[in-house]
Structure 1
Amino acid sequence: MEDGIRVGLLLVATPQLEDPNFRRSVVLVVEHDMDGGTLGVVLNRPTEVPVDRVLPPWAELVTGPCVVFQGGPVALDNALALARLPGEDEPLGWRALDGGAEVARVGLVDLDAPPALLAPELLQLRVFAGYAGWSSGQLRSEIEEGAWYLVPAEAGDVFAGDPERLWQEVLRRQGGDLAFVSTFPEDPTLN
């Protein structure tokens, strides 16, 4: 049975999602298996930690802001990176997401590989600490309960220049009711 969730889509937190780990978050689905669960990376949580403090060899290749992003509440002591490449080649140290045209040429980077292998190919790179994870069926239940909108991604979402505005921007471009939701106040009690 198809559940509609697939690699390359975005999970956008609805205003009803109060969990501080995901409030107003935009999550890129990077792995999905209906039997094994789902992994994603929160795209709009920059930290204050400069990349050169934790991964100096990769720092000069990072797309600004040049800080580590909090990819989710799980495994915060582990880093992963997403990069966008031109062309059709799949160089060593990079694995394309299986997300179709929406996130064409965006993939996971092997941070243990020498940066020089990928440097000539990189268009954009972003480093994340941790990830978001859901067990089999858990994410589907959260979507049905109204915690998440499932929407198409664009490659630029991963490398947004103003990540704090990504939630509003993604919702606004959906049009209709979701564009209206993008205007939902940060604190509705002040309205």
Structure 2
Amino acid sequence: MVTLSPGILLIADPFLKDPNFARTVILLCEHKDKGSFGFVINKLFDQSLDNLVPEVLLSNIPVYYGGPVQMDTIHFVHQQPELITGGLEILPGTYWGGKFDSVVAALNNGLLNLDKIKFFIGYSGWTDGQLEGEVKDKSWILSNTDAAIIFEPKEQQIWQQSLKNLGSTFAMMANFPIDPSLN
């Protein structure tokens, strides 16, 4: 049984109607008594990192919509602790955050492997007990994960693949229509 903890995935139920979270997969980075925090990993934002952070010299680095909270903040998850210090390990070898100045410097000097870092604008957050209530109401399907799905470059496949990874019962859900009343 998967429990709420850092490093697990929250996979949106196929019939979740909330426009912020329909067909999304969230990487949970923190879960404490006071609340929870994570990032939508499969919803590409409409601007690249250099458009949002002028200090970044490389163009076309994708940014993902982390969630509807504090859309004026940039966050990141990575697998490069030797270059980015100060991160919190949420899965073996996968870290949330770190010193942003070192990220910008490493990007501008061509030192970061862009396949091992993912940027987010905003985040998804829940107050004390809110996420537990949503899980109880079956808005979310909980899943253990490995880093491969987090850093998957084809974001449009992450939701379906996350369901398929849970086995045949959930794999069938991956093909449910968005609105069954239209069938």
For residue 102 of structure 2, the aligned residue among 113, 124, 135 is 113
Q: 2 CA distance for matches of 1:59 and 1:155? A: 27
Does 2:125 match 1:133? yes
Aligned partner of 1:163 in structure 2 is 155
Aligned partner of 1:179 in structure 2 is 171
Could you tell me the TM-score, scaled by structure 1's length? 0.83
* SS of match in other structure, 1:46: coil
Aligned partner of 2:8 in structure 1 is 9
Could you tell me the TM-score, scaled by structure 2's length? 0.86
Does 2:63 match 1:72? no
Q: 1 CA distance for matches of 2:57 and 2:67? A: 21
Aligned partner of 2:49 in structure 1 is 51
* SS of match in other structure, 2:101: coil
Percent of residue pairs identical: 31
1:107-160 alpha-carbon deviations (Å, 9 max, x no partner)? 323323353357636452221110000111110110011100000122122222
1:33-81 alpha-carbon deviations (Å, 9 max, x no partner)? 1x11100100111022121111244463x9xx73221100000011111
- Counterpart of 1:39 in structure 2: which amino acid? F
Q: Where does structure 2 lack aligned partners over 5 or more consecutive residues?
A: none
Contact 1:79 1:128 (C-alpha < 8 Å) held by counterparts: yes
For residue 87 of structure 2, the aligned residue among 88, 95, 101 is 95
Q: 2 CA distance for matches of 1:114 and 1:4? A: 32
Please tell me the root mean square deviation across aligned C-alpha atoms, in Å. 2.3
Closer/same/farther in 2, CA of residues 188 and 108 from structure 1, 3 Å limit: same
